[in-house]
Amino acid sequence: MAGSSIKDTRFRHSLAFKVIFWAVFLSLGIISLTESALYAKISDGIRKVKVDSAIAESQSAVFNAQYRLILSQEPTEKTIQQIIDDVVVNSSTIIGSSVNGREVVLLRSGGNPSGSKNYQRTSNFVAPSSIPGSLRQQVRKSKKPEWAEITVSYLGGNEISGLAVGQRIVIPKAGNYEMYLVFSLVNQNETLNLVKNSLALAGFILVLLIGLVLWLVVRKAVRPVQEAARVAEQFTAGDLTQRMEVTSKDEIARLGHAFNEMALSLERQISKLESLSNVQQRFVSDVSHELRTPLTTLRMASEVIHAARISFDPVIARSTELLVAQLDRFERLLEDLLEVSRFDADVAVLELVEFDLVTLVERCILDLSLLASENNVVVELSHKGDIVMVKADIRRVERILRNLLSNGIEHSQSPLIRINIVQSNSAAAVGIRDYGIGLDADDAFRVFDRFWRGDPSRARVRGGTGLGLSIALEDARLHNGELEAWGRPGAGSHFVLTLPKNSGEDIESRLIRLQPEDYLSTPTSGN
């Protein structure tokens, strides 16, 4: 199993191995087909020569025997027997004693005159049963020689492959007989086996040579690709100074030069973008910090004015309340911008503690109960089990939950918001389902973008900054968790927060389905 896994990995990740494997595989198939066709051609040629030679010899032997029998004047049984014995002896040579060894089999055809002598005989103890019935049927019906490949059996039990050629012969006073000359095919089979083995060996050597040549060629051709992959991996790791080494002037060299030019252009663009990003991050951070001092002064002055608003004209008193509200909003915006700058600078850190997620959700519900009552919303919490312990940054998790819950309360057009908590051995999930105006399917992918608002005019009335969900997503990912959104116009929205129980570990699966179960999809729902 280990060897199979290694081969599978090599086949998946090595271009050279793939090319060599398929080239050798296809070459093996082509060579096998070529060898099969060549072997069949050689085999047919050898057998055809043997058959033609056997037929010619058989015709000559049968004609000689028939001629001698016809020319014998008033033959007696003794004379006929002498002629047949002489024909059998002269027409047969022991198979194995020479390359052209042959045997003679003389068989009665049937329908012979009654009382006639039986001249049936074979040479060298060949069994008459060696001649198959199908061949005998053909010989009886045909006037020309018929042949077939047979297994020659001897009375002693030995068997060899052979070729039998038969033709009818008439023996005076004895009727019709069949005369067969049996030739050995042992030498031909040995020759064919030698040819077969030679072709197989030649094919094997040819496949090895093809594989070796391909390995040398592919190694030469793939090496620049491997070098390009190595440089690209170094790029991915952050080393933008790597370049391909170019030593030739062929197409591969052109590829190397183009790759190096691309790498140089990417390095410049990335450096430019990094510089611009650093300037933007520094600008946001500096502006946020610089604004905190005048904001503090404005805050102190507004509180003094707000405390004395009772003695002011009603219009001026209302202006002081608006001033305090906008300063609160401005302060929240600065805090959000500072948090975003921390994320961009990769300096955001987690302060991990172990806490009960259910208790934290209940506390968030209690803290936002006044906002819920103002919007006539009831928050319903359901969970399996009493305790869901997680190890995370409680401040950041609470910020995520407060943001999602407050958004649900503010945007809800139904008196109910459902919160569901589910846990597994390694993760915990919180789903917040509202039945408000909802989101378009495309907006669900943009809802976490910075400063994005589905309805800017509504956001300005409610006082949102457009950074809350973006910060919530960054907080979730900082724990190696995930925050997802689903929504449909008029059907509300569903936000699902999934966190590992130990911050930084992987999430094996989503515990809460993103599309809520109480949403019935229809053909026009866009789902």
Q: Which of 178, 160, 166, 189 is nearest to 95 (CA)?
A: 160
What is the per-residue pLDDT for 180? 92
Domains and CATH numbers, the chain: 1-224 (3.30.450.20), 252-344 (1.10.287.130), 352-500 (3.30.565.10)
**What is the bridge-based pairing of β-strands 482-488 and 416-423?**
unpaired
Low-confidence stretches of the chain (pLDDT beneath 70): 1-13, 73-74, 91, 93-100, 248, 250-252, 276-281, 283-292, 295, 332-334, 336-347, 451-466, 520-527
pLDDT digits (tens, 9 = 90+) for 270-312: 777 777 666 666 766 666 666 667 767 777 777 777 777 777 7
Token pair of 341 as six digits: 């700058």
Q: b/e for 106-125, b at 16 or more Cβ within 10 A?
A: bbbeeebeeeeeebeebbbe
Task: List, in sequence order, the alpha helices (H) in 377-451.
Answer: 394-411, 443-446
Q: Which are the contacts of 499, defined by CB distance < 8 A and separation ≥ 6?
A: 390, 392, 397, 427, 428, 429, 476, 479, 481, 507
Q: How many other CB atoms are there within 10 angstroms of residue 146's CB atom?
A: 23
What is the C-alpha separation between 135 and 182, in angstroms, rounded?
A: 12
What is the per-residue pLDDT for 158? 83
What is the per-residue pLDDT for 97? 47
What is the per-residue pLDDT for 285? 63
What is the per-residue pLDDT for 431? 92
What is the per-residue pLDDT for 280? 63
